Chain A
Amino acid sequence: MFRNSIDLLRKDLLLEIRGRESVPAMVLLALSTLVVLHFALGQASLDGELASGALWITILFSATLGIGRLFVSESEDGGMDAVLLSPVDRTAILVAKVCALFTFLVAVQIVIVPAFALLLLGPHLAPALPKLAGILLLTDFAIATVGSLVGAIAVQSRIRDLLAPLLALPLLIPPLIAATHATAGILASGGPAGVPGRWPLIIALYALVFGLLGIALYDNVLDD
């Protein structure tokens, strides 16, 4: 099964590298959001809770873009039929999609986190980076499990580009709550504070629940 996941993942990544559709769009949206936030908040430098909130808003909005596009290659040109006809376990498809979305999110954040530090963040990024990276990776995983489920549902609808953000945002609020609390301490102006264990735990549990939901439901969710 893992071989299938890796092959499918490679397919998605190759499509993205060659087509260059989703990730650049996500990066651009994130950058625009940072600029908008500067003007909307009227601040040149953020720290603590405000910085944390600004960063996560930016990440979430660009994530909804990625979620909406995640299954487009399957829904067009009969791609889904091709995948479903092959003797591949449905769960492998799920795993591949989760990994693909995760990769896109990480790629976006590699650009956006320095941009954020440049444009909006008050305190220095370097001391905060290890803890921040940890929380980012964990939350990316949660966003990926939720997003692959939402993307698979939304792509079946006529109004898929409307539904993807509408479905994803409420579902992502619980991990968002935990992530913002966690990063608020990390981005504090006095230097990164410790992260109480409960926040990463919540994010991890949430990712786990949605992963399990995905596995349980994926047979019903993949179709064309």
Chain B
Amino acid sequence: MPALPLDTAGRYVAAAYLVFMLILIIYVAIMASRLTRIQKDITVIDEMLKTRDEHAAKAPPLTPESAQQ
């Protein structure tokens, strides 16, 4: 087949490079959603640490006798 004229050829070339870019962008989107999940996990851990600190502040310090009960 003889070479395509530039305008049709250009479309095909553009399409191919566009596909490449799309793959990369979709990948970035997936990684971004993973990052959001990491953020959520960090928030949860933050909460847990807060509750733990509150409990430690309220509860009396453990003595060996009270620990055995």
Q: Indicate yes or no for A touching B, C-beta below 8 A.
A: no
